[in-house]
Chain A
């Protein structure tokens, strides 16, 4: 998506979809409306060579980025070298525009949790995450964009709130941010903070990509919580957050819609991409109006 203001500035935002086998026909038939495709890296780590090679066929059609879910970067425990090497091999084969991972821990004491879990927000996890990011950069050849995660439980033993903790990691590690707006919305809803205030404190110049998704209300620990399940449509609030973001981020944004099941017809997903484009356009317009006003 290209936005132009008085011939002065051009920001080409991109909007895409997470690759899922179930969506293959819909995605490959509508590449004129899908700018970029995000592939789950872990699905391919141990896949037969022919499957990884097929990904190159996909990357010949459109821009492909890789998204990891199993490194467990946000931990005082070092990331497994084997996983980093698999990521490196995949990046070498696919040559993605970027790769990304979550600021979560997924294992501890040799036990796989099987879930992206929010660690205690402490100096130890900030330093552990920074150290892991440095190792990732050294082994893979580039640092990942790091993604904020959703959690149903405010991590016990935390010394920082979420945004200060994320900024603490980014201060130590030279990485960009993959800002998941539904994760932000879910956490803000569940723990009662202002998501717009959160956005204002995010280092805008470090945001490399954005995730959109949907979720549902659940009962957890006797309370009503918003669960980020990727099985529902993107709520209006998330589009509003995207517009807010586009109003302040100075560079082009890559926006990915994540859907992991209960797949609707592809047209429904494409309409959500169109709504994301509209939100981006609205935010860009506000940004340029502000810039022009300041210049005047």
Chain B
């Protein structure tokens, strides 16, 4: 049977199945090429694990939470500053020193996530994880691109041939063009995951090794188990601290509506207090003394109207 002799709807069904097969092959080949045994990495480094799981932002969140818990940073509502007695060299890890540098003056926790100057701090993590085959290195990225290009060529050639046939017979080809574009976009999206297969498996292994922390976390008190807290945040995410004695941690990175919606939103009646009380930078912190319980919480959860009214 020659598929190019199929009529419109039948060919579209064939092309749909063909696309699935091509995308499936791309994924399968990637899974096979990027799998492997467990590598030897420092599983006691929460920042390495956080970086593996969620990249730079996650590593920074864990660093901030850990430093706050150890009393090296002071959280005042959503504003964070370095504790008076703390110097940068009191922290042992470069990422912690970099974060301490940033908070010489009080700032919002989310600000650290936007700082481009921190890039060099992450290079060792990136290199380590690439060497271990957990993040794609240059060769892996090229291999992924090659597989995608072969797949795109297959999808493109088949559809182009049929489009040419359709055009010569003055038949509509719009659906096929759309289907080809969707298949190529889907193939591209599935070709470049952040982690390799080995990286994904290792992250699952790490989550399992530290699964005991899920039950332990509620027995810890702030400042009493900083290593465990940092590891919990690294493995399960800062967001997972929400229902624990460390619930305050999530608030540290919740940006104000004034920042999220920028100037246009803060100019509206709903967000007017954000821009009016202190020029739009830190209305909650300044108007209510920075307490997250009475002002900060209202701003993050209930809208800036509550903040302005306090």
Residue positions of A touching B, CB distance < 8 A: 20-22, 24-26, 28-31, 50-51, 53-54, 56-61
Which residue in chain B gives the minimum CB-CB distance to A22? Answer: B212
Main secondary structure of the interface of B (DSSP, over half): helix
Contact of A56 among B205, B213, B216, B228 (CB under 8 A): B205
Contacting residues, chain A, for B227 (C-beta < 8 A): 25-26, 29
Alpha-carbon distance A18/B190, docked complex (angstroms)? 41
Query: Known contacts A24-B213, A29-B227; is A54 also within 8 Å of B40 by CB?
Result: no
User: Which of chain B's residues 190-241 have a Cβ closer than 8 Å to chain A?
Assistant: 201-202, 204-206, 208-213, 216, 227-228, 231
Report yes or no: A57 in contact with B38, Cβ–Cβ below 8 A: yes
Query: What does DSSP make chain A's interface, helix, strand, loop or mixed?
Result: helix
Near A by CB (< 8 A), chain B positions 164-199 give none
Name the 10 nearest CB pairs between A and B, nearest first: A21-B212, A29-B44, A54-B208, A57-B205, A60-B38, A57-B38, A54-B205, A28-B43, A28-B44, A25-B231
13 residue pairs of the A-B complex, CB under 8 angstroms, read A20-B212, A21-B211, A25-B228, A25-B231, A50-B204, A50-B205, A53-B201, A53-B205, A54-B204, A54-B206, A56-B38, A56-B205, A57-B202
Name which residue of chain B comes closest to A32, CB basis.
B44
- Alpha-carbon gap, A54 to B205, bound state (A): 4
B43 closest partner in A (C-beta):
A28
Is B124 in contact with chain A by the CB < 8 A criterion? no
In the complex, what distance in Å separates the CA atom of A234 from the CA atom of B212?
25
Rounded to whole Å, the gap between the CB of B52 and the closest CB of chain A is 12
Chain B residue contacts of A59, Cβ below 8 A? 38
Chain A residues near B44 (CB-CB < 8 A): 25, 28-31
Taken together as a complex, chains A and B put the C-alpha atoms of A144 and B228 apart, in Å, by 35
Given contacts A28-B43, A57-B202, A58-B209, 8 further A-B contacts (CB under 8 A): A24-B210, A25-B228, A30-B44, A51-B208, A53-B204, A56-B38, A61-B40, A61-B43
- Measured CA separation A179–B250 after assembly (Å): 49
Task: Determine if A25 and B37 form an interchain contact, defined as CB atoms under 8 angstroms apart.
Answer: no
* Cβ distance A134 to chain B, nearest Cβ, rounded Å: 33
A20 to B216, CA, bound (A): 12
Q: With A and B bound together, what is the CA distance between A187 and B166 in angstroms? A: 90
Residue of A nearest to B40 (CB): A60
Do B37 and A50 have beta carbons less than 8 Å apart? no
**Number of B residues whose C-beta is below 8 Å from A?**
22
Across-interface contacts of A54 in B (CB, < 8 A): 204-206, 208-209
Any A CB within 8 A of the CB of B120: no
Q: Which of the residues A30, A50, A60 comes within 8 Å of B39, measured between beta carbons?
A: A60
Which chain B residue shows the least CB distance to A266?
A: B227
Contact with A along B20-53 (1 / 0, CB 8 A): 0000000000000000011111011000000000
Of A51, A58, A60, A61, which contacts B37 at CB under 8 A?
A60
Given contacts A22-B216, A57-B202, contact A28 B37 (CB under 8 A): no
- CA separation between A249 and B288, bound complex, in Å? 70
- Residues in chain B near residue A26, CB distance under 8 A: 227
Q: What residues of A have a CB within 8 angstroms of the CB of B43 in the complex? A: 28, 57, 61
Write the chain A residue with the least CB distance to B206: A57
CB neighbours of B208 from chain A (8 A): 50-51, 53-54, 57
Alpha-carbon separation in the docked complex, A51 to B205 (Å): 7
Using CB atoms, name the residue of chain A closest to B212.
A21
B131 CB, min distance to chain A CBs, angstroms: 14
Chain A residues within an 8 Å CB radius of B41: 61
Distance (whole angstroms) from the CB of A274 to the closest CB of chain B: 18
Q: Which residues of A contact B209 (CB under 8 A)?
A: 24, 28, 54, 57-58
Q: In the assembly, what is the distance between CA of A30 and CA of B227, in Å? A: 12
**Chain A residues whose C-beta falls within 8 Å of the C-beta of B231 in the assembled complex:** 25, 29
Q: For A58, list chain B residues within 8 Å (CB).
A: 209
Chain A minimum-CB-distance residue to B45: A29
Could you say which of B38, B209, B213 has the most chain A C-beta atoms within 10 Å of its C-beta? B209
Give A31 to B209 CA distance when docked, in angstroms. Answer: 14
Nearest neighbor of B228 in chain A, beta-carbon distance: A25
- In the bound assembly, the distance between CA atoms of A30 and B210 in angstroms comes to 15
Using CB atoms, name the residue of chain B closest to A31: B44
Interface centre among B39, B205, B212, B231, by most chain A C-beta atoms within 10 angstroms, is B205
Q: How far is the CA of A28 from the CA of B227 in the complex (A)?
A: 11
Would you give the 0/1 interface string for B93-129, flagging 1 where the beta carbon is closer than 8 Å to chain A? 0000000000000000000000000000000000000
Cα(A60)–Cα(B201), bound, Å: 13
Q: Which residue from A24, A29, A61 sits with its C-beta under 8 Å from B212? A: A24
Please name all residues of chain A whose beta carbon is closer than 8 Å to the beta carbon of B38 when the two chains form the complex. 56-57, 59-60
